[in-house]
Amino acid sequence: MERLVFWLRRVGLPALLFALLAVSPVVAHQHEPHTPQQQQTETAPAPAPGDEPVMTMPWPTEPVMTEHDERPTTFSGRLLRWLGGWHSAAVHFPIALLLTVAFLELMATVRRKPIYTASNKLLLGIAVIGAFVAAPLGWINAGLPAADDASALVLHRWIGTALPFLMLFVWWLKPNAEAAAAGRNGPLYAIALSVVAAAILAQAYLGAEVTHGAGHMAF
């Protein structure tokens, strides 16, 4: 018994003092005022897995606004707005056909098989019809030119107006199926097709810039 009392005196007293020193800062901290930010930090639970906030990347700039952004109140206005909405769908058809023609002409040159281009005059004819449908729908969709139109919209409007006539010129230069299969394409046709294909690509980029804003293709 005396031995137990001896060890309690030697070990217990320092242990008690150490416990008091360890508890005293906690007790003192409980009486300090807490700021709202500290309370939120101390009481906010940790987010569960999968609940982390998702960061979204906004568009670099806002899309170009036109006079047709406000919903019209008249029947004729709603009809024109509805027709103009078909421009985005109609314009892809002639673009795809003309680029297909350019691709077939390139393959015929590379592989030296003019037969690849035998049906290109027909494809160009369908593309021209589609372009003469898509261009007026674009005018309906964008409205009449205004002084405050963005440069992308101005370029898109007038390149799109000229493209149907340029495509018609390319169709006229393209020989018929028999001559095309024999490889009798003139050099002017190749130059005109290359120019129109480049204009089509530039027009597609400008159309996307009008719809999605500048920098839409930024990496």
Handedness of CA 186, 192, 195, 197 (dihedral sign): negative
Phi-psi region of 183 (alpha: psi -120 to 50; beta: other; left: phi over 0): left
Per-residue pLDDT of the chain (219 residues; tens, 9 = 90+): 555 445 445 545 455 444 444 444 444 444 445 454 444 444 555 556 555 555 554 444 444 445 545 677 788 778 878 887 888 888 889 999 999 999 999 999 899 888 888 889 999 999 999 999 998 888 888 778 888 788 888 888 898 899 999 999 999 998 887 777 777 888 899 999 999 999 999 888 888 888 777 777 777
Q: Which amino acid is at 37?
A: Q
Helix H or strand E encompassing 42: helix 36-43
Query: Domain residues of the chain, as ranges?
Result: 77-212
SS3 173: helix
Q: How far apart are CA 95 and CA 204, in angstroms?
A: 8
Task: Answer yes or no: are the C-beta atoms of 81 and 71 closer than 8 Å.
Answer: yes
Closest CA to 210 of 149, 168, 163, 167: 149
Q: How far apart are CA 59 and CA 106, in angstroms?
A: 36
Where b means 16+ CB within 10 Å and e means fewer, 44-80 reads: eeeeeeeeeeeeeeeeeeebbebebeeeeeeeeeeeb
pLDDT for res 25:
43
Q: Which amino acid is at 148?
A: D
Looking up tokens 């159309």 gives 207
pLDDT for res 69:
57
pLDDT for res 55:
53
Provide CATH code, domain 77-212. Answer: 1.20.120
